Structure 1
């Protein structure tokens, strides 16, 4: 019974947070994005994140928290659009007869976004080593030459990257 009361209180807290701050957040996002539709979408996504995190009742500075969550969503939006633009530019260079269907394009883009999120948690040098070995197919020796480090350092960076990938996969 206490769970139902807790859920009701949590929903009431979220409803109050939404009512009191949704308009402000949408305006704040519209100023930064210059796009009402994107601002409305990201405002909704922000409140979905708050709902999933179950933090609506414990916020001491709700606007600061909402702005922080929304900033992360804006960064994700720009990153996704940049990656999509790069992918579409690469596709434009291929002959049309090799162009994937819209469904396959969407699947590839989703995969690219997942890989981007995965690599985002790596340091710059570790990411560079990982991509050289995994994507470019370079040997450890060639990678060491390209990056300007020892083969031992390449092994350490690659091990770090692979451990990072495994930990994220488990999560």
Structure 2
């Protein structure tokens, strides 16, 4: 008998662990619908891998993948909430259209993904410079650091974003 192919392996993994994973996510999210979506997305991630490896600890692996999706979910919620709060503070006539809101949220999500993995201070420096338009000396003064530290953080953030966008091999 030949070994199962990747699709059969994931089908078996799904049959054995989907219910458990969805229950784990439901406890984290307090919402069965979102838990079902993220459980589904977890298995889609596995299907999209070039060569899924044989898993010795399938639940640990599924938990790791699902936790990453959960963090992305919470980050998106936080971005949406911050954006909606900002919109609520504006006069209604200056509010963007629903299409513009969707594009803005997608852009904010992409920025968050690009900055993922940066240390918090480097991320804050980058955002102050690029989004708030603050100067390096102003950032240094407000954060109680030197301008040189701000410059190095900007170099690090810019290199990180470049690698995230274009990969390290290009």
TM-score, normalised with respect to structure 1: 0.89
User: Is residue 79 of structure 1 aligned with residue 75 of structure 2?
Assistant: yes
1:29-54 Cα offsets, whole Å, 9 max, x none, are 12222211111101100000111125
User: Is residue 145 of structure 1 aligned with residue 141 of structure 2?
Assistant: yes
Q: Of 132, 140, 149, which aligns to 2:128?
A: 132
Q: Does the Cα contact within 8 Å between 1:80 and 1:113 map onto a contact in 2?
A: yes
Query: Which is richer in helix?
Result: 1
Q: Which residue of 2 aligns with 1:31?
A: 27
Give the whole-Å Cα distance in 2 for the aligned partners of 1:62 and 1:55.
Answer: 15
Give 1:63 shift.
Answer: 1.0
SS for the counterpart of 1:58 is: coil
TM-score, normalised with respect to structure 2: 0.89
1:30-82 Cα offsets, whole Å, 9 max, x none, are 22222111111011000001111256551111111111111121221111111
Please provide the CA RMSD for this pair. 1.8
State how many pairs are aligned: 166
Give 1:10 shift.
Answer: 1.0
CA 1:149/1:31 → structure 2, altered by over 3 Å: closer, same or farther?
closer
Q: Which residue of 2 aligns with 1:62?
A: 58
User: Is residue 41 of structure 1 aligned with residue 37 of structure 2?
Assistant: yes
Give the whole-Å Cα distance in 2 for the aligned partners of 1:149 and 1:51.
Answer: 46
Residue ranges of structure 1 left out of the alignment (5+ in a row): none
CA 1:24/1:54 → structure 2, altered by over 3 Å: closer, same or farther?
farther
Give the whole-Å Cα distance in 1 for the aligned partners of 2:26 and 2:138.
Answer: 48
Q: Of 160, 164, 167, which aligns to 1:164?
A: 160
Give the whole-Å Cα distance in 1 for the aligned partners of 2:76 and 2:127.
Answer: 19
Give the whole-Å Cα distance in 2 for the aligned partners of 1:23 and 1:54.
Answer: 25
Q: For structure 1, which segment, 85-94 or 141-150, has the greater mean C-alpha deviation from structure 2 after superposition?
A: 141-150
